Structures are given as structure tokens and as C-alpha cells.
Amino acid sequence: MGRTGPDGGVGRFLVDSGRLSDAELEICHLGALFDAAYFALGHGSGPRGFQRGAAHWLGPVRAVGAVAVERETRRRGKLLDSLWPYPQVDTEPVVLRRPDGRAPAVTSRQRAVLALADGVRTPARIARELGRPAFHTLIDIRRLAAAGHIATPRPARPGPPGRPDPPGRSGACAPPAPDRGPAAAAFTDPDIDLLRRLRDALEATL
């Protein structure tokens, strides 16, 4: 930022100076963009609007259409649900459980997450303290909840029909996730109307 200023030249500077290749910059850009889109759109609320002409200090890397954003938002939601279909673990403070002997061993990466699970820190805060992407931390959280290492809080509102109640904060190891065929994936669609308006606005500028 000190060399390029806030006018969107950081990405190009990193490539031109040899610190990153074009492919590496694009991978970082797309990963961050699609992860951010999941948090902004994945639960159906969506942002209230977009600021016309807003630019990021990284600068232009690759144009991404609204259809691709929608597809990747859905894919991330389905991935998390396939691991453990209780989205409330994504936002509530992480509480440790004592799993039974059938629970799989944790990896070193997951162990670092468990070390910060104190019933106060949320997954987002744990991700910040570990310096990890928030979505990657959600994957660890869902896997740990499915294995019974962390508690699954009960939802504030009743879940969809057919979805089992989550395990409590005490008791036996969490049950395995239910069979989730293509038609049974419980995922809140992103704000489709918002994405379509965004697509139309982008196409109008071409």
C-alpha cells in the first residue's frame, strides 16, 4: 500500500515484482471472493445493496459473473451441510464435548481449533486468532461437531421437517448425519433476485 497507494494497484505490483504469479494472485482472489460471497449471500439475507463504483485496493484481477458467484455460494453451503447439517454451529460460541471412544482422532489443524474452544469464542473469532480463512475454519467446526468433539446448539427456530434434532451439550456422542441425497440437501438459497439484479447491472456496463 505504501508503494502503490489505495488506488487498486497492489495486485499488479505483487505480480510485476515477482512476489506472486498471475495464477497465484487469481487463486487467492477467487478464494477470498467466493468465501466472502458465501457469508454475504449464503443464508438468504444478502447485503442491502452494492455501492456503485466501489473498488478494492488489490485492484482488478479477474471479472466474475453473478452466475459463478451463485454457483460457488451454493456449492459451499452444500459442502458444509454434507459434513454436518446444523448451520447454527457456524455462529454460536464453540463448546467442547467429551466424545466417546468411537470418535475419530483429531488432526493437528483441528486440535488448534479445539484449543480455543472455550464457550465464548465463535468460529469467526477462532479463525481470526488462528489467522485462517473463516470458511476453512467452518469446515473444521462442522467436522468436529459431527465427530462429537464440540456441542451442537439447538436452533432458535424449529428446523425443516425431517431434520433430526441436534445432540445436546451433554450425553452420548453425536449421531451420524442423516442420509442426504440430492433432493434432501437442506440449504437456504441465496438471494436469487439480488444476484440477478447484480448480473443485469454488470452486463449493462459491458
What is the Cα–Cα distance from 199 to 205, expressed in whole angstroms? 10
Q: Is residue 3 part of a domain?
A: no
Whether 113 and 126 have beta carbons less than 8 Å apart is answered as yes
Task: Judge if 92 and 76 occupy the same domain.
Answer: no
Count of domains in the chain?
Answer: 2
Q: Is residue 198 part of a domain?
A: yes
Interval 15-59: pLDDT, tens: 999 999 999 999 999 999 999 889 888 765 555 566 777 788 788
* pLDDT score of 174 more than 60: no
Mean pLDDT for 176-195 is 44
Task: Judge if 16 and 33 occupy the same domain.
Answer: yes
pLDDT of residue 182: 40
What is the Cα–Cα distance from 173 to 82, expressed in whole angstroms? 18
Mean pLDDT for 154-160 is 68
What is the Cα–Cα distance from 186 to 10, expressed in whole angstroms? 40
Q: Is residue 125 part of a domain?
A: yes
pLDDT of residue 133: 93
What is the Cα–Cα distance from 126 to 117, expressed in whole angstroms? 8
Q: Is residue 32 part of a domain?
A: yes
Q: For residues 32-55, b (16+ Cβ closer than 10 Å) or e, as one string?
A: ebbbebbebbbbeebeeeeeeeee
What is the Cα–Cα distance from 135 to 32, expressed in whole angstroms? 9
Q: Is residue 184 part of a domain?
A: no
Task: Judge if 18 and 97 occupy the same domain.
Answer: no
Task: Judge if 24 and 94 occupy the same domain.
Answer: no
Looking at the chain, the whole-number percentage of residues with pLDDT higher than 70 is 68
pLDDT grade, residue 167 (50/70/90)?
low
pLDDT of residue 195: 58
Task: Judge if 90 and 143 occupy the same domain.
Answer: yes
Task: Judge if 95 and 162 occupy the same domain.
Answer: yes
Task: Judge if 64 and 123 occupy the same domain.
Answer: no
What is the Cα–Cα distance from 8 to 13, expressed in whole angstroms? 10
Task: Judge if 53 and 114 occupy the same domain.
Answer: no
* Domain boundaries, position 23: 10-80+190-204
All cell numbers assigned to 74 = 451454493
